[in-house]
Structure 1
Amino acid sequence: MADLVVVGSGGGSLCAALVARQGGLEPLVIEKTDVVGGSTAMSGGVLWLPDNPVSRSAGVEDSPQDARAYFASAVGDVGPSTSPERVEAFLNAVEPMTGFLMEHGVPFRHCEGYSDYYDELPGGKARSRSLETELFNLRQLGPWREKFRARMDMPPIPLYTGEVSPMSLGPRSLRGAATVAKLAGRMIAAKLTGREMRGTGAALQGWMLQAALRAEVPIWTGTPVVDLIVEDGKVLGVEVERDGRRVRVRARAGVLLNSGGFSHNAAMREKYGPSPASAEWTSANEGDTGEVIEAAMRHGAAVDLMEEAWWIPSSVLPDGSPLFAVYERSKPFSMLVDATGSRYVNEAASYMEVGQAMYARHKEVGAVPSWFIMDARHRGRYMWGTSPGGITPRKWIESGYMKKADTLEGLAEQCGIDPAGLRATVDRYNASALDGRDPEFHKGERAYDRYYGDHRVKPNPCVAPVEKAPFYAVALYPGDVGTAGGLLTDEHGRVLRDGGEPIPGLYATGNCTASVMGRTYPGAGASIAASFVFGWLATHHMIDNTARSKSVA
């Protein structure tokens, strides 16, 4: 028995549990997998929070008016999930929620220059509205370190978001070399002092878990939800599997679902999502399988935007693991083409925008996969994934993961691209790229495009001719970091029925819901921010309901 049962431990789950604890409710967090943190712990660990106090203190000029204007122009109205009430609730919660988390020891910092993805629109901010945390020492979690989701297949990387772009330039650039040296120094210092320092999502969720443990929030891992407990149309709790047996857990104030989407559920992807799709392309955590969404639907919950995801162009490495491409696409000496050899999108645009464009193009010609074409300067200078420029693993070439040829026509033949089409596209692109222009798709004109560009290349850090042999290509697919559609909720986070009325006792946030961001990713950390904010709002609504019930009694 608990007051609030939170299903899932990613995104805003621990935030909701902390709010409940401070508001006098007894929370219980239930996590299906054996580790805490969800896909958030595997992410960049950034929250996009318009008009937040941390960015304002860093000198960013923002206002509620600018935030509303940007939301209206970038996100717009795509249905109930982006209703004016939900947008206002999200924006109004930013200030108090950020302050609350800082009071609980979460040390936020402004992500300088990590621009809104559409900064050219009304209300857009090129200096960023995104927050990250200070680095976190995972050893501070004590015995919970072994139950925390953090990648174990690579050394601890104590990296801030602002260091990714210069590091991707490689050690041959002054900025890249300085960043690599700084990172190496941190890693050596951590090893000498017995710390396991992490940045990005591991840092965010590390601070959140530490705060939850200090508040004595109970967390059950290895506990999948089987169904909701519903009586007379009201959700009273959840039925779970724990230690090999079925357990019914009652929730006096409500159940908050934050179980993630259905990225790893092939049947749901086939039923709801665009085609082709594959769970092999997703970078979401393995627990992202959608059964909690289906359980809520069985009990009358309405859904929307089920065909949408947080798309991110991704390749599939020789070992079968996905590798998403973000900073790689913004670098010059490269382009993205379809099977006809034609460009169809600004390669440096938001990952979600490029993924959507890939599917839209595929309806006309073969664009899944698309091919990322690089000349020798791109491969020689810039990182691809975690491999520095100039170092191409032999396995990449031998396996066919990365194609290589001395001519564009030879490269096209290896990829199954029309050679004449590719040659015509490159010639047309190069004619303008000599002057740093992209009249077709305007690459490099947004601040976000330039964030990951190479500022040594003038006048446009994202545009230069593709002309120096040998040439390389990698197949990119519409991967994702989670689905973006799901249960419909109102401004309080209450799950709604098809008719619009709330299901008593049932709340939801995160990737199991239809996002307040609609079909757009307005800035770095938009999905994580929405998960935190609506977890915050839902728990406050439960606290208020509980207080009203006690006053009536």
Structure 2
Amino acid sequence: MESYTTDLVVVGAGAAGLLAAAAARRLGDQVIVVEASGRVGGSTTAGDGVAWLPANPIMIKAGGEDSPTEVAEYLTALLGDPAEANAAAQRAAFVKTAPKLARWLASSNVPLQVAKGVSDQHLLLPGAKASGRAIQAGPIDRRLLGETDSALARATGLMRDALSRLPLPRRTATGGESLVAHLLHRAVANGVELWLDTPATALRTEGGRITAVVVDRDGVETEIIASRVLLAAGGFEADAALRDEHLPLPTDSAWTSTAGTNYGDLLTMAEGIGAATTNLADAWWQPVMVTEGKAYPVREAMHYPHSLLVDAAGDRYIDETRPDYDLGSAMYDHSRGVRAVPSYLIVDNRHRQHCQLGPWSPGNTPRRAIEDGEITRANTLNDLAQATGLDRAGLLGTVVRFNNFAAKGTDSDFNRGLLDAAAKSKRKNASLGKIDKPPFWAVKIYPGDAGTKGGLVTDASWRVLRSDATVIEGLYACAGTAASIFAGTSPADGAALGESLVAAFLAATDQRSERRREL
């Protein structure tokens, strides 16, 4: 067996892992990052790279107002008071560190900007903000990466299409790809070692603390001896067996919109050395449609007028413009009485002609998708109900009632559009519109996810804990491998990434408080 020695091993080369590596290297640590795949970035490069870092200085500089007190007020209103001291300490650490991390990124020459159009998801709660708390990295010329540019995962699907329409030079990275590129550049330029195609196979401990990570490097079993190890390789959303064991049923790995490379290997390894887990039944829920075996979020289509969501009885059961997490979890909750997995998004032809639906541009519905039953088309609602198996009387009655609400501009059943209106300074409710222009369409909607939310139990420095709350010295976790502090809800778009980055920063700079001051 080959052997190497370093200060910190980071397992996982996503945005959080690269940030941890860059932060630790800036403090003088020797760092090796191991990545099971041949690319860096993970699910971050597939997304918009929005990170929820409330009370950040970018927001304040742009004229916004925020404070840690308001952030704490919002989180308490949303999550309630923490049930235990460790949870309270983690929440406080996030609130305190989020603005510090934003300043550190700026000092590391990562250009940051406020993410336009991104608000807190529960605007009626005290402490919520309509803009400013979510930030993104600015564009970067990928040529700065040199040879490591080939290691950068690229945006895919809808994000790739959206970025391709921006008036930017050909080799410019934006969105999540940009954030990862900036962090990769900072890490490698400062001497972080990056080992690709190198999966971790075992964790080694001695005397109650971590001592090494065993990896498979080019087919050779290799031991990396280190005083600290950070597990930052996501959850288990791509593993069918673990989904069936832990998540609500039914479930399917095809319903995740992540990169689909997280199989929970690190969770299993950590459990094998005594690590505790929690909240494994939770995920970053989001409604998705599935076409050609891939999941696509459908938020835009759910918010657009001339649409509604129904269960098997043809009844609405929620405001279609609720946050993604609420919609996904409601599908499971509602299914205890009436089948709602899948639910059906019902739209008329105005919607289909003017709104993106998953990967399908307005007015473009592939014949193959109709033939394969991914979407159903009918000239009447009666025929649509028959073709989908939805209760005919239920669907027809629901549409009549909904159309009356649309005519009045108020959804008396579920207050559809209220949160959208709040985000847009109470402008006219634009999410309501009659469903009365044939042909009519129905597409199956599933409780998909943007990653699992449960994971290893950690403390306020994101050190991994045992079931008796003792620390496995030297072992840290974040980025989906650790359980989220936002159990049972989501405060905002970018919360998963924001939490992961904060946790990675705290883990990388742990041990001595004076080290954090050096940053």
Q: TM-score range by the shorter chain?
A: over 0.9
Give the aligned partner of residue 390 of structure 2: 417
* Pairwise CA distance, 1:185: 6.4
Q: 1:526 aligns with which of 491, 495, 498?
A: 495
Aligned pairs for 1:99-178 (under 5 A) are 99-151=103-155, 157=161, 159=163
Aligned equivalents of 2:160, 2:309: Cα separation in 1 = 32
Query: Secondary structure of 1:329's match?
Result: helix
Give the aligned partner of residue 277 of structure 1: 251
CA deviations 1:235-268 (Å, max 9, x no partner) are 112111111021111112x111111000011111
| Contact map agreement 1:117 1:448 (CA 8 A) in 2 | no
Give the aligned partner of residue 204 of structure 2: 229
Aligned equivalents of 2:116, 2:156: Cα separation in 1 = 29
| Contact map agreement 1:158 1:197 (CA 8 A) in 2 | no
Structure 1 residues 448 and 260: CA distance shift in structure 2, 3 A: farther
Aligned equivalents of 1:531, 1:399: Cα separation in 2 = 38
Aligned equivalents of 1:129, 1:423: Cα separation in 2 = 42
Give the aligned CA root-mean-square deviation in angstroms. 2.2
Structure 1 residues 532 and 152: CA distance shift in structure 2, 3 A: closer
Query: Secondary structure of 2:418's match?
Result: coil
Aligned equivalents of 1:109, 1:157: Cα separation in 2 = 22
Aligned equivalents of 1:448, 1:417: Cα separation in 2 = 31
Give the aligned partner of residue 241 of structure 2: 267
Residue 291 in 1 paired to residue 265 in 2? yes
| Contact map agreement 2:130 2:423 (CA 8 A) in 1 | no
| Contact map agreement 2:32 2:192 (CA 8 A) in 1 | yes
Q: 1:471 aligns with which of 432, 436, 440?
A: 440
CA deviations 1:360-404 (Å, max 9, x no partner) are 111111111110110111111111234332222222222221111
Q: 2:219 aligns with which of 244, 248, 254?
A: 244
Aligned equivalents of 1:131, 1:184: Cα separation in 2 = 21
Give the aligned partner of residue 508 of structure 2: 539
| Contact map agreement 1:485 1:513 (CA 8 A) in 2 | yes
Give the aligned partner of residue 75 of structure 1: 79
Query: Secondary structure of 1:83's match?
Result: helix
Aligned equivalents of 1:158, 1:205: Cα separation in 2 = 18
- Letter paired with 1:19: A
| Contact map agreement 1:48 1:131 (CA 8 A) in 2 | yes
Aligned equivalents of 1:197, 1:405: Cα separation in 2 = 44
| Contact map agreement 2:458 2:464 (CA 8 A) in 1 | yes
Query: Secondary structure of 1:88's match?
Result: helix
Q: 2:375 aligns with which of 383, 398, 402?
A: 402
Q: 1:324 aligns with which of 288, 297, 300?
A: 297
Aligned equivalents of 1:269, 1:515: Cα separation in 2 = 17
Aligned equivalents of 1:41, 1:334: Cα separation in 2 = 31
Residue 354 in 1 paired to residue 327 in 2? yes
- Letter paired with 1:313: P
* Pairwise CA distance, 1:82: 7.4
- Letter paired with 2:499: A
Structure 1 residues 385 and 274: CA distance shift in structure 2, 3 A: same
Residue 367 in 1 paired to residue 376 in 2? no
* Pairwise CA distance, 1:218: 0.9
Aligned equivalents of 1:249, 1:491: Cα separation in 2 = 26
* Pairwise CA distance, 1:44: 2.1
Aligned equivalents of 2:309, 2:450: Cα separation in 1 = 21
Give the aligned partner of residue 514 of structure 1: 483
Structure 1 residues 446 and 393: CA distance shift in structure 2, 3 A: same
* Pairwise CA distance, 1:459: 3.1
* Pairwise CA distance, 1:127: 2.0
Aligned equivalents of 1:497, 1:79: Cα separation in 2 = 18
Give the aligned partner of residue 289 of structure 2: 315
Residue 306 in 1 paired to residue 280 in 2? yes
* Pairwise CA distance, 1:197: 2.5
Give the aligned partner of residue 162 of structure 1: none
Structure 1 residues 334 and 364: CA distance shift in structure 2, 3 A: same
Aligned equivalents of 1:12, 1:98: Cα separation in 2 = 14
Q: 1:59 aligns with which of 59, 63, 68?
A: 63
CA deviations 1:83-115 (Å, max 9, x no partner) are 111111011111221111111121110123311
* Pairwise CA distance, 1:284: 1.8
Structure 1 residues 77 and 497: CA distance shift in structure 2, 3 A: farther
Q: 1:40 aligns with which of 19, 39, 44?
A: 44
Give the aligned partner of residue 86 of structure 1: 90
* Pairwise CA distance, 1:156: 5.2
| Contact map agreement 2:321 2:420 (CA 8 A) in 1 | no
Give the TM-score, by structure 1 length.
Answer: 0.88
Aligned length: 512
Aligned pairs for 1:182-201 (under 5 A) are 184=165, 186=167, 190=169, 195-201=170-176
* Pairwise CA distance, 1:198: 3.3
Give the aligned partner of residue 455 of structure 2: 486
* Pairwise CA distance, 1:545: 9.7
Structure 2 gaps, min length 5: none
- Letter paired with 1:502: V
Aligned equivalents of 2:344, 2:484: Cα separation in 1 = 30
Q: 1:10 aligns with which of 14, 18, 35?
A: 14
Aligned equivalents of 2:101, 2:515: Cα separation in 1 = 20
Structure 1 residues 82 and 448: CA distance shift in structure 2, 3 A: farther
* Pairwise CA distance, 1:343: 0.8
Residue 338 in 1 paired to residue 342 in 2? no
Query: Secondary structure of 1:512's match?
Result: coil
- Letter paired with 2:460: E
Residue 380 in 1 paired to residue 353 in 2? yes
Aligned equivalents of 2:108, 2:280: Cα separation in 1 = 35
Structure 1 residues 293 and 406: CA distance shift in structure 2, 3 A: same
Aligned equivalents of 2:140, 2:162: Cα separation in 1 = 8
Give the TM-score, by structure 2 length.
Answer: 0.94
Q: 2:399 aligns with which of 405, 426, 433?
A: 426
Structure 1 gaps, min length 5: 160-182, 548-553
* Pairwise CA distance, 1:153: 6.8
Aligned equivalents of 1:54, 1:24: Cα separation in 2 = 28
Q: Percent identity?
A: 36
| Contact map agreement 1:236 1:251 (CA 8 A) in 2 | yes
